[in-house]
Structure 1
């Protein structure tokens, strides 16, 4: 219950920080992840969903919204005729770069009360995440 309560408060802080940019938190996550992945190789929707650990159907819906906003384009994939290659537009890259700073500042303020415990807390969360990756494949 405690983790649920903390998560809800953290998400509320992120929603408030992203509201002026017209982005939901999941839209931010997928746009930032796609921006970070770069353009060296074509990125598919499945690859993005795997990278962000998001549900593929939800990822598709969010990408449609990002595409409608002019932040993402879905282009023909150069080698896989069934897939689409995702590309961040110039406007998408600009909003991703601006909002990354806002989200990081919000995280800093939210977790600041942990002080020196922030790093061990982060490592503990990473251990739980990595354990979930192991059990999912089993």
Structure 2
């Protein structure tokens, strides 16, 4: 459902996630590719490849880091903000439709997921 919801925006799910996370980090002074990957929980190499695609679409800009020649800083463009906001509304609608089948069981299901997450061991 998510893939279908994102198709009109020409975004893959990973592109959407990285764009949305970058938008949420907009107030951070300097966001590097590594920062974004860690914040989004994505592989660093895959993140770099996806960011090149987003840059090619004019949705983000990558610049040389002012203090680290190996690092790149990221900025979401105005078009990227507009697109991710529209796509987010479509994703939220798809989520509502998907979970609607739970009806009155939705709150209990959510509590169960929270419990499972709290009890699961972290990475490593």
Q: TM-score, normalised by structure 1?
A: 0.79
Point out the structure with the larger helix share: 1
Alignment partners' CA distance in 2, 1:109 and 1:131: 28
Report the count of equivalent residues: 124
Given the alignment, which residue of 82, 91, 96 partners 1:94? 82
Following TM superposition, the consecutive aligned residue runs of length 4 or more in structure 1 with deviations greater than 4 angstroms are: 126-132
Q: What is the alpha-carbon root mean square deviation over aligned residues?
A: 1.9
1:62 aligned onto 2:60: no
Question: For residues 115 and 37 of structure 2, what CA distance do their matches in structure 1 show?
Answer: 20
1:85 to 73, 95, 102: 73
Stretches of structure 1 lacking an aligned partner (at least 5 in a row): 1-12
TM-score by length of 2: 0.87
Please give the per-residue CA displacement for 1:54-97, whole angstroms capped at 9, x wherever unaligned: 11111111111101000011112233332111110111111011
For 1:14-93, what aligned pairs fall within 5 Å after superposition?
A: 14-93=2-81
